[in-house]
Amino acid sequence: MADSTPPPSLAIADVHVSYGAFHALRGIDLAVARGEFVALLGPSGCGKTSLLRTIAGFVQPDRGAVMLNGRDVAGLPPRRRNIGIVFQSYALFPHMSVLDNVLFGLECRKVAKAEAAARAERALGLTGLSHLADRRPRQLSGGQQQRVALARAIVIEPDLLLLDEPLGALDKQLRVQMQTELKSLQRRLGVTAVFVTHDQEEAMSMADRIVVMRDGAIAQLDTPEALFAAPNTAWVCEFIGAGNLLRGPLASEGGLRRLALPPGSDIAVPANDDADATVLQVPFDKLRPRVAGPGEGLEVTGRRFLGATVELQLASEFGTIRAHLPPAEAHGFPFGGRAHVSASPDHCRLLPDR
């Protein structure tokens, strides 16, 4: 019997991209399901924008395949891929009204005027812009301009929506608001979306899955929850801020490997035979500090109020150890005080140091 399972919206296989001697993408494999919201996350120069531009058709890969809904789009220009794109700069036409900006893509596709008007009206309604249809971009706030760019992208009813750091120009409060609105709109439309960001918090709050990229390759691909709970390397852990990374001698004892801390402190992990796993990961919120006497334990060298929690910074020979506590519990650990720290072995992991 033939397989009736629909192909993924986007399938990338062994994609390589080079700019002269520089290898921007190195063997990328990625499948994005219909209706899924995937974030490309990584530091500057990791390849996330090159990957987005390759999907869009602005960059042709040296080798590899890019499939949209089971169709090989290699060599097709962007206008023939039925992809909606929202850029960080919005790229609105300043001499056109909001309505004309939204209609532009439909006019390029020779959509009949009546249908184009109906689709533009719907897109403006979905993005909350109906009352601003006659305004020019310069008369709009940053958030409103972002909505116009989004309406222009969705009005063509794309098979795939590409978002290239579209919230980067907004202030923090508006950015958080637009994250919620953008994710809600994507769900209502059921459109598949690929979102580029360098903001870990943004990726965690919006994406169904996150592609963490490094040096042109995928370092890890997982859900936000799984990625935060189980980063596969010390580099991924550090990049997404998933906990303390402690490098130091680990003494084996009773099936555990313990960090050499002062008496009264205890951080251990179940023994791991993987010789590459040499860095101890301890989540910030799983450390349990206890008040220590003068000269005992570790010194509290810093405190940061984070809203729902307070971060204690403790000096150790392995570097700063951070513990996140509810504010009420943190009162007992003043700057310059002393603390013992412990963590359950079930909450600690050994990671490869790469």
78-91 residue pLDDT tens = 888 999 999 877 78
Domain with CATH 2.40.50.140 in the chain: 243-352
**Under a CB-based contact definition with an 8 Å cutoff, are residues 256 and 267 in contact?**
no
Q: Can you read off the two tokens belonging to residue 214? A: 């490094």
Half-sphere exposure of 267 (CA within 13 A, CB side): 32
Q: What is the pLDDT of residues 206-251, one digit of tens each?
A: 999 999 999 999 999 999 999 999 999 999 999 999 999 999 888 8
Segment 264-315, tens digit of pLDDT: 999 999 887 676 778 999 999 999 999 999 999 999 999 999 999 999 999 9
* For residue 99, pLDDT beyond 80: yes
Q: How far apart are CA 182 and CA 169, in angstroms?
A: 15
Helices 142-154, 172-189: crossing angle, 10 deg rounding: 20
Task: Give the helix/strand (H/E) hosting 289.
Answer: strand 288-291
| Res 167: pLDDT | 82
In the CATH scheme, what is the homologous superfamily, with its name and number, of domain 10-239?
A: P-loop containing nucleotide triphosphate hydrolases (3.40.50.300)
Global pTM reads: 0.90
* Nearest Cα to Cα of residue 83 among 73, 94, 93, 96: 73
Q: Which fold has domain 243-352?
A: OB fold (Dihydrolipoamide Acetyltransferase, E2P) (2.40.50)
Residues of the chain with CATH 3.40.50.300: 10-239
- CA 63 to the chain's CA centroid: 26
Cβ distance 264 to 296 under 8 Å?
Answer: yes
